[in-house]
Amino acid sequence: MNEDLKEIFEYYCKYSKQLSQDELVSMLREIQEVCGGILTSEALQCVCNELGVKENYINTIIKFVPDIKTEKVLHRLFICGGVNCKSNNCGELHNYIRKQYNVSPGETCEKYGFSYNVCGCLKHCAYGPNIKWDGKVYSKVTREMLDRLIRKK
Ligand code: FES
């Protein structure tokens, strides 16, 4: 383990290794910064070992923290599953993601490095279907827009 990580662990785990979610997220952000902008698999493993938790636990916590990126999950996609987006045909986007990128809600598309989930109302109902990509809401989303975001076209 490198000195930067040791220093971070000493600071956050000074009194207890049972960190609150906020403390854990803050610690992960610092680790990501010293790792050059991505929470590397090696660093993630160090966190798991240090705190005595499984990687799934960390992944569950950071699922909704768009600024924390791992080697497997560089981006986070949420498609609104709210009532109004359903009436604006968000189902077509869900089907498209499933077919085109072979990923279901709760899974990660490793080829393109994004996680995919369905979320509740994004408070932009009049402009649906809506999605959230890396924390930013996009409205009136089409298949082409999804492709551009995912494939960086
Ligand atoms: S239902 Fe999708 S933004 Fe409100």
Give 41 Cα–ligand 1 centroid separation in angstroms. Answer: 35
For residue 83, the ligand 1 atom closest to its alpha carbon is 1
CA 107/CA 117 separation, integer angstroms = 7
Which residue is closest in CA terms to ligand 1's atom 1? 82
Nearest residue to 76 via CA among 124, 132, 122:
132
CA 93/CA 78 separation, integer angstroms = 11
Angle at 124 (CA atoms; ends 146, 118), nearest 5 degrees = 50
Q: Is the pTM of this model over 0.85?
A: no
pLDDT at 19 over 60: yes
Any idea which fold 75-151 has? Answer: Glutaredoxin (3.40.30)
Confidence of residue 31 (pLDDT cuts 50, 70, 90): very high
Tell me, what's the pLDDT at 94?
95
CA 108/CA 53 separation, integer angstroms = 21
Tokens 């890396």 -> residue:
134
Give 84 Cα–ligand 1 centroid separation in angstroms. Answer: 5
Q: What residue spans define the domains of the chain?
A: 3-62, 75-151
Which residue out of 78, 79, 85 has the highest number of ligand 1 atoms within 8 Å of its CB and is therefore the one to mutate? 85
Tell me, what's the pLDDT at 153?
55
Residue 124 beta carbon below 6 angstroms from any ligand 1 atom: yes
Tell me, what's the pLDDT at 152?
85
Task: Give the mean model confidence (pLDDT) for residues 29-35.
Answer: 94
| Angstrom distances, CA of residue 59 to CA of 66, 81, 134, 145 | 12, 22, 15, 27
